Structure 1
Amino acid sequence: MTITPEQVDWFQSTFGRLADNVEQAILGKRRVIELVLAAMLSGGHVLLEDVPGTGKTALARALGQTIAGTTTRIQFTPDLLPGDVTGISVYDQKRGEFEFHAGPVFANVVLADEINRASPKTQSALLEVMEEGQVTVDGITRSVGRPFTVLATQNPVEQAGTYRLPEAQLDRFMIKTSLGYPDDASMLRILQGAMAVKPAVPGIIDPVALATMSELAAGVYAGPVVLDYLMRLVSATRRAEEVRLGVSVRGALSLAKICMVWAASRGRAYVTPDDVRDLAAPVLAHRLVLKPDAEFDGVTAPEVVAQILLDVAVPVENGTA
């Protein structure tokens, strides 16, 4: 169903209020907040690669509070087991049957802190729930509900005792971004309010209304010209000489979905090539696997995406390149 102008106005207004609310806890990071919200409304997950102390946990907590939903945190460590993530079945002697104890993935917002410190076996416990929104334990499948977003973090500096995330898991993250340090003005505001008692971020929307926003975004029009441009960008990642593994079909779909949400958040009922260009790096770069020679030469995935954006012709309004 096509989104109406009235619905677009409501979506833009609500999206802005959500971002404003989260920004009370994370000063000076408006774009990152909007990216995370857009990913959540697209049904996607977020990988935050950042140094410690930049507000990753605060962002997840503020997001959960904003949608009046549930938020959990999983501290990934080498001794963490899959059952610690998904939950386990415990035998109840009085009742004579097994009872399922839900794990921390049963929440609206799950913060997977330092995800690369857990073993590959434990990391794989997230594969099903991130893709299907469900957990299967002892042959029984249980839904984690909606909305459901995983915010995973990893430290790019300290790599001792870490495990590289497999491509199958990286591909399940809709976007990869970074909070980074605040600018001077935001840092000053943080320091000025350091001694003040910080009230909890108020909840301004419930999970049901958030699901409605997701349904409305699905009605945003993505025309053939825009989809062709998106397809050409994805195809270019597979042909780039520095790339060993390009963007998957899942990656292309993720870019299309988040562009629809992004357009609605800007007050439009249609996707433009600028939306695709604006979101290409956070959606596509982490999915690229570079050739060893390119990595040795210092080439990075964001640089490859940036070059592709320069090389691939941008369609103009009349549909021609």
Structure 2
Amino acid sequence: MTIDALSHVEDADTLRDNRARIAARLVGRERELELTLAAVAAGRDIVLEGPPGTSKTTILRAITDEWGIPLLFVEGNADLTPAKLVGHHNPARVLREDYSPDNFVPGPLLEAMQRGGFLYIEEFNRAPEDTLNTLLTAMADRSITVPRVGRIEALPTFRVIASMNPYDNVGTTRLSTSVHDRLNRLAVDYQNAPEEEQIVTLRTGAAGPLAERMVADAVAVTRATRDHPDVRQGSSVRGAIDTTLVAERLAALRGCVDPVAAEYPELIFDAMVVALSGRIHLDEAVETTPEAVLREIWEDRFVLEPRQAAPG
């Protein structure tokens, strides 16, 4: 789909075709895709609120690929100044030539506006307030005036897309009413277990009885980190992907080829320690370690659950 074709994006058949082609690139996420696509096709900016690893970037990349426009990433943090977002004059050229539009280096905001792309700001609520305020004019007027450069008009496909993690409030700022008023919002939660197993299988290329069991176990223990009482934020599906990949290499090193072998459960625990211990964030009030929490989750999976399922 070209930028010229976007003038017809309100056509129902065109939009449905977009959705079908984009959905073919995703695992699940039908509702989230439909709502996000409807918002950006309507010309709206949107904030996607959810934990990491919930396919937010995948959805946006699929939409921009379908539309044939760029997706520009910006990390929201205290160092994201208005000048970094908008752009700056090349200091060396300024000394030689003085200020001019020719020696202005566009930042990601202007680049997205000029190329008609999506400006995707991750950890949106970590950016300084004055930087977020810089976006207000761009979102409201689809244009911005830069001193010594002039007025920059955005192409029709320009959108501001933000993401926020509701589980992490450390180092974040409260968004102003003005910013909230200019953004649509969609909550994006974790996918279900079968969808996460499908994602892990696709990302790892896991095949065969041993790999299939590794995928199921990796997803199960990863999901359990999100519900453990001592964990403030558990791991995303990326933890399950890495647990599977590490477990496969450990199995090769240790010569484990049977998913019911006696050494298999401990192999999975070792992979969990490597892949998950740095991805779980414990409650500050508890006195435990990531390894202890993972051992408890492992015991629930490999000791308690098999006994509960045993006859009698």
Per the normalisation by structure 1, the TM-score is 0.55
Shift of 1:152: 0.3
1:152 counterpart = 2:162: yes
- Matched with 1:190 is 199
Shift of 1:9: 12
The whole-number CA distance in structure 2 between the counterparts of 1:23 and 1:54 is 15
User: Runs of 5+ in structure 2 lacking a partner?
Assistant: 1-6, 206-312
- Matched with 2:16 is 16
1:178 counterpart = 2:187: yes
Letter in 2 for 1:126: L
Q: 1:120 to 1:9 in 2, by over 3 A?
A: closer
- Matched with 2:108 is 104
Per the normalisation by structure 2, the TM-score is 0.56
2:135 to 107, 126, 144: 126
- Matched with 1:214 is none
Identity in percent = 26
The whole-number CA distance in structure 2 between the counterparts of 1:187 and 1:178 is 18
The whole-number CA distance in structure 2 between the counterparts of 1:171 and 1:152 is 14
Letter in 1 for 2:165: N
Letter in 2 for 1:178: A
Structure 1 residues 272-291: aligned runs within 5 Å: none
Partner secondary structure for residue 193 of structure 1? helix
- Matched with 1:65 is 65
- Matched with 2:221 is none
Is contact 1:40–1:148 with CA below 8 Å preserved after alignment? no
Partner secondary structure for residue 78 of structure 2? coil
Shift of 1:8: 9.8
User: Runs of 5+ in structure 1 lacking a partner?
Assistant: 1-6, 197-321
Q: 1:189 to 1:120 in 2, by over 3 A?
A: same
Letter in 2 for 1:123: L
The whole-number CA distance in structure 2 between the counterparts of 1:148 and 1:67 is 11
Partner secondary structure for residue 204 of structure 2? coil
Partner secondary structure for residue 108 of structure 2? coil
- Matched with 1:169 is 179
Q: 1:100 to 1:156 in 2, by over 3 A?
A: same
Count of aligned pairs = 190
- Matched with 1:42 is 42
The whole-number CA distance in structure 1 between the counterparts of 2:45 and 2:9 is 26
Q: Which structure has the larger Rg?
A: 2
Shift of 1:182: 1.4
The whole-number CA distance in structure 2 between the counterparts of 1:24 and 1:192 is 16
Considering fraction of residues, name the structure with more helix. 2
After superposition, the CA RMSD in angstroms is: 2.4
Is contact 1:86–1:135 with CA below 8 Å preserved after alignment? no
Q: 1:89 to 1:144 in 2, by over 3 A?
A: farther
- Matched with 2:249 is none
